[in-house]
Structures are given as structure tokens and as C-alpha cells.
Structure 1
Amino acid sequence: MPNWLNSIKLEGKKVDLVPLEKSHREGLMKAAADGELWNIWYTLIPTEETIDTYLENAFREQENGKSLPFAVVNKADGRIIGTTRYCNIDSANRRLEIGHTWYAKSVQRTGVNTECKYLLLRHAFESLHTIAVEFRTNWFNYRSRNAILRLGAKQDGVLRNHRIDQQGLLRDTVVFSIIQSEWKTVKMSLEFEMSKVRP
């Protein structure tokens, strides 16, 4: 069985996904400042006050075998434009989630998310032999929900009052997944979509 927590660089045409490091702190803060992403109430984007805790939590999850975080690097200029990770890893049952994903506002709707998800999904299904990849998002994050559906994922359901968020609000979590038998078709769809995006 492959080791799901091996640090790996996933290379695309527009972006590279590189193992997250403490040295990425400044780049992540610049990306988050592009659009002041921390003002989005229904998601958790680090601020200057919370970035160190954010990174510590990511590395702790990795040490505990539950997460593999990446920095998203723009190939054109080497700039960090966001982050994503494999999380809630269940290697015994060959399942994982793709989450904690956010990008600088200037690169949203440019094909970056499609390529990032393609790289993560291809590695999950073709190298790690995952049987299912999950996506979760806040009920009120309509943009994220639509983006997940465009990937080819199917909605599994809604976890009502799933958790209490950082503001003390009760969060309903929408759960989506792509299963192993769907990957071949989803892959073709994503490659078709990426072929239409201008460089």
C-alpha cells in the first residue's frame, strides 16, 4: 500500500502544488490579502493574527496522519496564490477528502481551481488507489458548492448542525464525493475543460 503522507510535488501547466512549509507564511498572507479573503464569513481564511496557528494546525494534522497540505504556486511567476490539502485521510479504507482550499481573488475563475483539483484527484485515484474522494463545504458557500459540482462530484447529503464555527454559528455541511468507478469519466471531463482555458 502506498504511503499517503509522502511529501510530493504535483506539477501542472498553470500551477504546481508543493508541500506546505513554514517559509510559505508570507506568500500565503499576500494571497489572502488579494481580495481580503478573511472577510468571507462562511469559510476560514487566515489573517496576520491567525496564520501561525493555521500553519501549526496543518502540520499537526500531517504529523497525526490525517492531512497532507500543499501551497499552490503560480508557474508563471513563482508566486504563492493559495493552499489546499488532502485531509480526513483514512488510509485503511482508502478514502480522503480534498479541502482547506482557497485562492487569491485575482486567480479565481481562471482555471486554477480546475487544474488543482485535477492534479489532486489524478494522484489520489491513480497513485494512491483511493476508492473515494470527498469534498465538504458550508451550506452558504454557494460558489464552492457549484465549483464542486462542476468537477463532476455528486452530492451525498447535508450534515445538519454539523459543527459550531469560529463565530459560534451552527454550520450545515454539504458533502460531495467522486468514487473510483467515476474517475475515468470525470478525468475526461476535466481535461476537456482545461483544454478550453487560455494559458
Structure 2
Amino acid sequence: MNFADTPVLAGPTVRLEPLAPSHAGDLSDSVAVGDLWRTWSTSIPAPEAMANEIQSRLGKQRDGTMAPWAVVDARTGRAVGMTTYMNIDEPNLRLEIGSTWLGRDAQGTGINPAMKLLLLSRAFDDLSCNAVEFRTHWHNLQSRAAIARLGAKQDGVLRNHKVWHDGTLRDTVVFSIIASEWPAARAALAARVQRHR
């Protein structure tokens, strides 16, 4: 199995579809709500940049470095976000779940834990990963809390890791779940998903 493949992953509330240009309209609408794309502590494409972002992610998939999905609300059939496997390290059975965002209307609906359950299940159960990593901006407190709720442990902070789009320096917080932690994390995530059904 190729780590950059993007099979459809489906649960009761969310469906992850291979990212395609046809998702651009829904995704542009999603980021426009509340000007989500202006959130400074994360990198979300502006509505007019969505088509280019999709092409960029598909180019990385062709190179084998990314597996991009559109996040579709199974109840409405509309694409409400994006997620990827990135920093794919197939020889060492590692990858990062990242470049993820959900539109404001999809936040707090249970889509995020359901999506992460699908992604982590594929990573650990189908691809036999040793570890799955998550990274976020030090100042993105919402993202840090959401990652911790997945059962991921904080590995550390990469200080002055990146020059951010506004010229500031980003400290990157690194989390991971390792294979031995997956059974407990899966049980906790499944219970959270069940509560949102």
C-alpha cells in the first residue's frame, strides 16, 4: 500500500474523499464564513486561492510526499475542510497528519474526532505506522487542545522553526501517537465519535 494513496474513508458523520478541483467551490465557501482564512496562527487558503491550493496538494501527491483529502460532511454532502498525510516517511513507517482545517460551521460538530479516527485507523491498522505526528503553531491554542484530546503526547517545541506568512517566527509544537498507544487512543476517539452520532 502506498502512503500517498487517498482511498475514500467513510464514517457516519464524515467522509474523506480524494481531494479534487471539484471541491474548490464548497471549500471556498467554507473558509469565507467568518473570514476563517484570516486566522493568523494557522495557514488556511483564501477563497480565491483555493483552486491553486488544491493543485499544489495534488502536485505533492504525485511526488509521493502528501496524501490530500477533502473533508465532507456526510449529512450534507458538502466539503467543509481539508486534511492530509504529509511528511511521509514510508521506510520508517511514519507520517504527519496536518495541513488540516475545518470551516467554522463544521467545528464542534464531531467531524474532527470522526475524521481523525478514520485517518489514524488507516495509518496504524492499514499502513502499520510506528508513529503518527501532529504539528501546530505555539499560539494555536485551539489546535493544541484538539490534538491533546486525540491522545497525542507532546514531544517538544521546535523554537524559531519557521518564518511565518506575516514575517513573525513560528515556534512549532510537535505531538505524536505511537503504535503502542493506538489501542487506547482508538477506544477514546471511538467513544467521542459515538457521542456525536
TM-score of the aligned structures, taking structure 2 as reference length: 0.97
- After TM superposition, list the pairs within 5 Å mapping 1:11-30 onto structure 2: 11-30=10-29
1:119-167 per-position Cα deviation (integer Å, ceiling 9, x unaligned): 0000100000011000000000000000000000000000000010111
Deviation at 1:107, TM superposition (A): 1.5
Q: Distance in 2 between matches of 1:130 and 1:172?
A: 26
Match of 1:171 in 2: 170
1:2-37 per-position Cα deviation (integer Å, ceiling 9, x unaligned): 211223000011010000001111111011112211
Given residue 178 of structure 1, which amino acid in structure 2 is its aligned partner?
Answer: I
Q: Distance in 1 between matches of 2:76 and 2:191?
A: 25
Given residue 126 of structure 1, which amino acid in structure 2 is its aligned partner?
Answer: D
Question: Is the contact made by 2:95 and 2:132 (CA closer than 8 Å) also made in structure 1?
Answer: yes
Match of 1:195 in 2: 194
> What is the aligned length?
197
Q: The residue matched to 1:49 in structure 2 has which SS?
A: helix
Match of 2:115 in 1: 116
1:65-95 per-position Cα deviation (integer Å, ceiling 9, x unaligned): 1100000111112111111111010101110
Q: The residue matched to 1:84 in structure 2 has which SS?
A: strand
Deviation at 1:43, TM superposition (A): 0.9
Q: Distance in 2 between matches of 1:60 and 1:162?
A: 24
Q: The residue matched to 1:58 in structure 2 has which SS?
A: helix
Do residues 8 (structure 1) and 7 (structure 2) align?
yes
- After TM superposition, list the pairs within 5 Å mapping 1:47-196 onto structure 2: 47-196=46-195
Given residue 168 of structure 1, which amino acid in structure 2 is its aligned partner?
Answer: G
Question: Is the contact made by 1:35 and 1:106 (CA closer than 8 Å) also made in structure 2?
Answer: no
Q: Distance in 1 between matches of 2:81 and 2:48?
A: 18
Match of 1:44 in 2: 43
Question: Is the contact made by 2:32 and 2:47 (CA closer than 8 Å) also made in structure 1?
Answer: no
Given residue 175 of structure 1, which amino acid in structure 2 is its aligned partner?
Answer: V
TM-score of the aligned structures, taking structure 1 as reference length: 0.96
Q: Distance in 1 between matches of 2:105 and 2:52?
A: 25
Uncovered stretches (5+) of structure 1, i.e. residues with no partner: none
Uncovered stretches (5+) of structure 2, i.e. residues with no partner: none
Q: Distance in 2 between matches of 1:99 and 1:24?
A: 19
Q: Distance in 2 between matches of 1:111 and 1:35?
A: 20
Question: Is the contact made by 2:31 and 2:47 (CA closer than 8 Å) also made in structure 1?
Answer: no
Question: Is the contact made by 1:154 and 1:178 (CA closer than 8 Å) also made in structure 2?
Answer: yes
Q: The residue matched to 1:34 in structure 2 has which SS?
A: helix
Q: The residue matched to 1:30 in structure 2 has which SS?
A: helix
